[in-house]
Structure 1
Amino acid sequence: MRIWIDVMTPKQARVFSQVYRAARSRGHEVLLTTRLHGETTQILSMEGVPHVSVGRHGGRELLSKLKAYARRALDLVDLVTEFGPDVLMSLSSPEAVRVAFGLGVRVISLNDTPHSVHVGKLTLPLTDRLVYPAAVPAHRWLSLGARAETLRPYYGVDEVSWVLPALGRLRGRRREGDLAVVRPEESHAAYLTGAVGQASVVEPCLEFLLDRGYRVVLLPRYDDQGEYFRRRYGDRVVIPDRAVDPVPLYSTADVVISGGGTMSREAAMFGTPAISLFPLEDPLYVDVFLASLGLPIFRSRDPRDALTLLMRIVRDPDGFRVDPLPALSALENPVEV
């Protein structure tokens, strides 16, 4: 079988690196395309996954997003036509799904973000199979145009596919003490247009950690975020020049603070307390699911409430840590669904 995989974001680079390896091990031919967007291509390179970069992220503005979408879709057509895929796999990539539909290629989408309404409306009506965490109510997908017969829920979260193998390698590493990992929000995403201002939602927590003498590793999503935090905090924070694998940090950090969802879920699945400051009112069903399993993931849309929780965590980090294996052992891996 010829499989086309399209990767749009750093999180997708993680999960589809696992899909790529699984497909190749079963003898399938794979074309993996991506775009210039944050650390996406760097993560694919770190994972050793061959890829072809086509186009780039459209930035913050709606017009630039539309133009980037149109250009990338056109650029994908000839490349994909030459490869001749039997199926497309993506995390609801608007350009790839549209191209696949136009070429009569079957579409399989992974998706755990019903709050990404624009992407959902563009892709789910054209999707032949939607693989999603069962924690997300089916009606959320149906409201975005998915057809009931395409739905394939699984008992787990996307992060299982790469966290479980890493947990086996890294579990039991010594904690460094007074180490925190911080990730700003996804400020360029369409679903956050107009929802965040200039200052980052993670800053009150970041400043508290610095005042407490914590060594903070800050992982910006974009160059402009990196410039902002370097200008504002200088050498008080550690900001890598290139993409780094944050997973080894989770086993040694006291706490993880994220403006999104993926990194907080990764950390909680290592048993490390994590606070998500995802700014939208929309529920993060997968986070609620992991919390229901006893994993230490907490959600706060108000930075002041998050700060209060963080104060409790740093007073007794070990009191918030858990052994994650009993909870994770029962989860399905989406790569195997």
Structure 2
Amino acid sequence: MAGPWLRARDRGRREGDHALRRTSSGEARARLHGQSRRRSPGAQPPRRLRRGPGPLLAYIPCPYKPDRPRTRSRGGDRQLRVWVDCTAAAHPLVLRPIIERLEARGHEVRVTAREYGQTLGVLERLGIPFEAVGRHAGASTARKTGAVASRSLALARWARPQRFDLAIGHGSVDLGVVSVLLRIPSAQMQDYEYAGIQRQLAFRVARRVLAPDAIPVEAMRRAGASEAKLFRFPGLKEDYYLADFEPGERVLDELGIDRSDVLVVLRPAPETSAYHADNPLEERLLDRLANAESVTSVVIPRTEAQAFSARARAAAGVIVPDAAIDAQSLIAFADLVVSAGGTMNREAVALGTPAYTIFSGRMGAVDEHLIAAGRLIPLRDPAELRLAKRKAPPGVRDPRDPDLLVDAILEARNRQ
């Protein structure tokens, strides 16, 4: 049975009253019942739905909510409503200082997260409130595409009535899609220039893209970020979000680690990423670590399959955490880190921990720069791994001010 708005619309068409179709449902019902279209003095006009850029928004309900008053932030600027989207476990870490500084300036921040790996667990550990929306679809391109469409639609329904002024992501494709649909200025961060086609789209629609200055401008342009929207920051992104970091030994006690053992942290490759090739080195490396004496290896898996594979070895010296842990403190106290990804290795570099990469995809400019500087070691044979206690004390080597990134992100609102 058709609702009152549809009946009003049909009646308006029959009567030739085209103006009826442009009014809100409440005004349409008032006219059907013979009430005057005139408003009493001082009455608020009916809220009209904002026109969207495409037909998709016709299916996204937007309940009537009076506009909330806009106050001034502590910096004197208008208070902003900011949306932050986290789609991988590293994103809460990277974006935490940005969220905290935005809130310290008086802005309102809402966070969404995709269920993938330890993303939700890291947010909970950091005490960041969030809305869980969608989950990772696996390695299939077709399923990934369907998941982007499904999650983007769900996020658009959630975000539309909130009238965000700014959206922030770290290569979030879904945030890019929704920012176009809802016309929200967006800023994206990235430190790997060989992103897939979906991330390229996210960079193209963003008004601001932040990347390390180790990545050439031309490489970022090919990735979808024009020079005009590009902000190249010095150092590693890890230098910024670890700037106020102080490692705590509690994680060592929680995992039951013998302080006299050589402590190795191992991070497998993201199985679902298009830019990673199959890497048999991981299995050989884990076999060596499992059989080594006076060595404790902590495997931080990305998926349940990786966790199952590591636990299947049933080696006393191999630990697989059941939940999200303080991985940064673990890395700080580790004697070496071996990772097939990027973030954990760069965290090790930032904290002065010897780092080995077994990345099997196309090496990015940031890692190439670290390898050339001798701060990151490519590992091609498990026998080359030097299992020894480190001598340098833990701590951040080159802390940088996250406010530099916050200022660059806020500039997205003033760009077209």
> TM-score scaled by structure 1?
0.87
Q: Unpaired runs of 5+ in structure 1?
A: none
Flag the 1:330–1:124 CA change in 2: closer, same or farther, 3 A: closer
Instruction: Say whether the 8 Å CA contact 1:133–1:155 is kept in structure 2.
Output: yes
Question: In structure 1, what residue type is equivalent to 2:298?
Answer: V
- 2:18 is aligned to none
> How far does residue 261 in structure 1 lie from its aligned partner after superposition?
1.2
- 1:260 is aligned to 341
Query: How far does the alpha carbon of each residue in 1:38-72 deviate from its partner, in whole angstroms, 9 at most, with x for none?
Result: 10011001000010011111111111111111100
- 1:251 is aligned to 332
Distance (whole Å) between structure 1 residues aligned to residue 91 and residue 384 of structure 2: 30
Distance (whole Å) between structure 2 residues aligned to residue 147 and residue 268 of structure 1: 29
2:367 aligned with 1:287: yes
- 1:215 is aligned to 296
- 2:208 is aligned to 129
> TM-score scaled by structure 2?
0.71
2:189 aligned with 1:110: yes
Q: Unpaired runs of 5+ in structure 2?
A: 1-79, 253-257, 409-416
- 2:66 is aligned to none
2:398 aligned with 1:328: yes
Instruction: Say whether the 8 Å CA contact 1:182–1:202 is kept in structure 2.
Output: no
Instruction: Say whether the 8 Å CA contact 2:336–2:354 is kept in structure 1.
Output: yes
Distance (whole Å) between structure 2 residues aligned to residue 212 and residue 232 of structure 1: 13
Distance (whole Å) between structure 1 residues aligned to residue 273 and residue 323 of structure 2: 21
Instruction: Say whether the 8 Å CA contact 1:124–1:144 is kept in structure 2.
Output: yes
Instruction: Say whether the 8 Å CA contact 1:34–1:51 is kept in structure 2.
Output: yes
The list of structure 1 runs, each at least 4 consecutive aligned residues, that deviate by more than 3 angstroms after superposition, is: 167-170, 173-177, 232-236, 288-294, 315-318, 321-325, 329-337
Task: Name the SS of the counterpart of 2:138 in structure 1.
Answer: coil
- 2:151 is aligned to 72
Query: How far does the alpha carbon of each residue in 1:135-193 deviate from its partner, in whole angstroms, 9 at most, with x for none?
Result: 011111211332221011000222123323224777xx99644111111111111323x
> How far does residue 83 in structure 1 lie from its aligned partner after superposition?
1.2
Distance (whole Å) between structure 1 residues aligned to residue 345 and residue 365 of structure 2: 13
Instruction: Say whether the 8 Å CA contact 1:39–1:243 is kept in structure 2.
Output: yes
Instruction: Say whether the 8 Å CA contact 2:84–2:110 is kept in structure 1.
Output: yes
Work out which of the residue numbers 274, 279, 285 in structure 2 matches 1:205.
285
2:393 aligned with 1:314: no
2:82 aligned with 1:12: no
Query: Is 41-50 or 241-250 further displaced after alignment?
Result: 241-250
Flag the 1:315–1:105 CA change in 2: closer, same or farther, 3 A: closer
- 1:189 is aligned to 273
Flag the 1:176–1:291 CA change in 2: closer, same or farther, 3 A: farther
Instruction: Say whether the 8 Å CA contact 1:156–1:334 is kept in structure 2.
Output: no
> How far does residue 277 in structure 1 lie from its aligned partner after superposition?
0.7
Task: Name the SS of the counterpart of 2:359 in structure 1.
Answer: coil
Distance (whole Å) between structure 1 residues aligned to residue 289 and residue 169 of structure 2: 37
Question: In structure 2, what residue type is equivalent to 1:23?
Answer: L
Work out which of the residue numbers 230, 241, 244 in structure 1 matches 2:311.
230
Could you say what the CA RMSD is over the residues aligned between the two structures, in angstroms?
Answer: 2.5
**Where is the helix percentage greater, Structure 1 or Structure 2?**
1
Aligned residues: 320
Work out which of the residue numbers 260, 273, 292 in structure 1 matches 2:354.
273
Question: In structure 2, what residue type is equivalent to 1:133?
Answer: P
Task: Name the SS of the counterpart of 2:215 in structure 1.
Answer: coil
Distance (whole Å) between structure 2 residues aligned to residue 329 and residue 68 of structure 1: 37
Distance (whole Å) between structure 1 residues aligned to residue 212 and residue 166 of structure 2: 21
Task: Name the SS of the counterpart of 1:202 in structure 2.
Answer: helix
> How far does residue 289 in structure 1 lie from its aligned partner after superposition?
3.5
Query: Is 160-169 or 243-252 further displaced after alignment?
Result: 160-169
Distance (whole Å) between structure 1 residues aligned to residue 390 and residue 292 of structure 2: 14
Question: In structure 2, what residue type is equivalent to 1:211?
Answer: N
Query: Is 260-269 or 4-13 further displaced after alignment?
Result: 260-269
Distance (whole Å) between structure 2 residues aligned to residue 46 and residue 217 of structure 1: 19
Distance (whole Å) between structure 1 residues aligned to residue 201 and residue 237 of structure 2: 21
2:120 aligned with 1:41: yes
Question: In structure 1, what residue type is equivalent to 2:333?
Answer: T
> How far does residue 287 in structure 1 lie from its aligned partner after superposition?
2.6
- 2:236 is aligned to 157
